[in-house]
Chain A
Amino acid sequence: DGGITQSPKYLFRKEGQNVTLSCEQNLNHDAMYWYRQDPGQGLRLIYYSQIVNDFQKGDIAEGYSVSREKKESFPLTVTSAQKNPTAFYLCASSRKIAGPWPDTQYFGPGTRLTVL
């Protein structure tokens, strides 16, 4: 089946640890995104990538890092510098990032990160 997978579904981190959230897509999409969702809030963009080996900061990139070594994969690392990392993290992808059509973003099932 084509789609976006995220793992793990639940993740627990001790303070001071870095953790990496996985996002994989087999839709042959060019662009991938990471969003953070907090209770009572909409989604906020952390990082996005248009092509392999290229990515840009979103609105709340501090304390996070990403890589895009393969078209299918866009892992997110939550570093110890992120002061309040407990949240729900959603990965999305879209077919292309520019052009006249909206290039709808499709989302994975998400990862719930809790800092102990």
Chain B
Amino acid sequence: AQTVTQSQPEMSVQEAETVTLSCTYDTSESDYYLFWYKQPPSRQMILVIRQEAYKQQNATENRFSVNFQKAAKSFSLKISDSQLGDAAMYFCAYRSGAGKGANSKLTFGKGITLSVRP
């Protein structure tokens, strides 16, 4: 079974600075997808960014980018120019790329709470 580990329960960043959130995962599969979701105080899960394992190029979405290290099974999220609205809980998630049914589920880490200091 796949597992996702977010070892840092909390992080803090100064507004306008850069912060990196760590995520590692364990899998025996070669084809899979990785996601970062944001959960603000409203508690709705919002997709931040996603990465296909077969792509070597790291995904980027505006101020958000990932550092995907497949061999190390690491998938960190970098937030540049941090804003107050970035304060939230961030979850790393894994999805198998193979087959149907149960393989479509997302396996989540426990999340990291990010606070942004003005």
Contacts and interface: CB of A to CB of B under 8 A. Distances in A.
Interface of A: 31, 33, 35, 40-45, 48, 50, 56, 58-59, 88, 90, 92, 94, 97-98, 100, 102-110
B101 A45 contact: no
Given A50-B100, A97-B100, A103-B104, A108 B44 contact: yes
Contacts of B43: 88, 109-110
A77 B100 CA distance: 25
Nearest to B100: A98
Contacts of A41: 110-111
Interface stretch (B45-53, B62-70, B80-88): B45-53
Contact of B106 (A45, A88, A108): A45
Interface of B: 4, 9, 33, 35, 37, 42-47, 50, 52, 91, 93, 95, 97, 99-102, 104-111
Contacts of A33: 105
B112 to A, nearest CB: 11
A81 B52 CA distance: 39
Given A56-B101, A110-B44, 7 more contacts: A41-B111, A42-B93, A42-B111, A43-B108, A45-B105, A102-B50, A109-B44
Contacts of A59: 105
Nearest to B101: A56
Contacts of B45: 43, 90, 92, 107
